[in-house]
Amino acid sequence: MEILKYDEVKKTWYQIGRYQKNDKNPELEIEIHKKLLNIFQAGDFYYYIFSPPTAEIEFTSEEVKKMWGFSNANEFSVEYIYENLHPDDKSRFVAHEYKVTEFFNSLPPEKTLKYKVSYDYRIKGTDGKYKWILQQVLTIQSDDKGSVLRVLGMHTDITHIKTDNKASGLSFIGLDGEPSYHNVPTDLLILTSGKELFTKREKEILKYVVEGKTTHQIADILSVSVHTINSHRKNILQKSECNTVAQLITKTINNGWI
């Protein structure tokens, strides 16, 4: 018996839009092209504009017809995605969407436009065959409270590179210097709003540590004393709850701290 229903997924989209009435008609072309530059394509793709407040796809590029065998691009909808998800991917899809909502609702308003969401799943086309789709989504419109009003989504056919037939994890890719989070557990709350784990100077030093530079080298680069760098390194280890540099580097890479 399927417990997770489509209507429950729609509720999470309404929440991320925070029930905002979306009656704006912005000029999106320039912003869309800027966002597209942040996405690397590995196969056939199409893009679309989705409105979380209404849980509706407002626009889909013509390439979607070739991908799924549609006669009209308007046949593509959130209902089509959910109804044609591979049975083994449905619960994961729902869990990821809940996590995405949780993540964006925890962000301060000024960071809403600074994250790309990425994960994959299988969709069945009109020919009855499933394709692995890499879904990448960027917020392109929000209000002063950080409510997500419109997102630009892109679906890329990655079937040809899925040799193990296993799903990739959920990732939040930071843009404009924001930290990234890869393979995020769907049962783990991500607290990114409020205070950063490290100060700007600590993140700068952490970057050099990961690059393999010594304390003396970092001190020379930043024109500060060795004592100052040692103090920062001690604070970094304490904040990251690491005991060794090797552990710190591993944790930094896994958590996207730089």
pLDDT at residue 90 tops 90: no
pLDDT at residue 206 tops 80: yes
Which is higher by pLDDT, 9 or 232?
A: 232
Which is higher by pLDDT, 210 or 81?
A: 81
Instruction: Measure the CA–CA gap between 115 and 198, rounded to whole angstroms.
Output: 19
Which is higher by pLDDT, 62 or 20?
A: 62
pLDDT at residue 74 tops 60: yes
Q: What is the pLDDT of residue 168?
A: 86
Query: DSSP string of the chain?
Result: ---S-HHHHHHHHHHHHTT---------HHHHHHHHTT---SS-EEEEEEETTTTEEEEE-THHHHHHT-SSGGG--HHHHHHTB-TTTHHHHHHHHHHHHHHHHHS-GGGGGGEEEEEEEEEE-TTS-EEEEEEEEEEEEE-TT--EEEEEEEEEE-GGG-SS--PPPPEEEE-TT---B-S--TTS----SSS-SS-HHHHHHHHHHHTT--HHHHHHHHT--HHHHHHHHHHHHHHHT-SSHHHHHHHHHHHT--
pLDDT at residue 191 tops 80: no
Considering the chain, what percentage of its residues have pLDDT values greater than 70? 81
Instruction: Measure the CA–CA gap between 44 and 245, rounded to whole angstroms.
Output: 42
Q: What is the pLDDT of residue 194?
A: 37
pLDDT at residue 82 tops 80: yes
Instruction: Measure the CA–CA gap between 69 and 25, rounded to whole angstroms.
Output: 30
Instruction: Measure the CA–CA gap between 131 and 64, rounded to whole angstroms.
Output: 13
pLDDT at residue 21 tops 70: no
Average pLDDT value over all residues in the chain = 83
Q: What are phi and psi of 145, to 5 degrees?
A: -95, -5
Q: What is the pLDDT of residue 213?
A: 87
- Please report, as a single letter, which amino acid is at residue 80: Y
CA distance to 27, 116, 120, per residue, from 37 (Å): 18, 12, 20
pLDDT at residue 5 tops 70: no
Q: What is the pLDDT of residue 25?
A: 53
Average pLDDT over residues 66-88: 92
pLDDT at residue 58 tops 90: yes
**Which domains occur in the chain, in start order?**
6-174 (3.30.450.20), 200-255 (1.10.10.10)
Average pLDDT over residues 169-187: 88
Asked which of 25-34, 42-51, 247-256 is least confident by mean pLDDT, the reply is 25-34
Helices 90-106 and 6-17: crossing angle in degrees, nearest 10, is 10
pLDDT tens for residues 111-164? 999 999 999 999 999 999 999 999 999 999 999 888 999 999 999 999 998 888
Q: What is the pLDDT of residue 152?
A: 93
Asked which of 25-34, 63-72, 151-160, 243-252 is least confident by mean pLDDT, the reply is 25-34
Average pLDDT over residues 161-174: 88
Average pLDDT over residues 229-248: 88
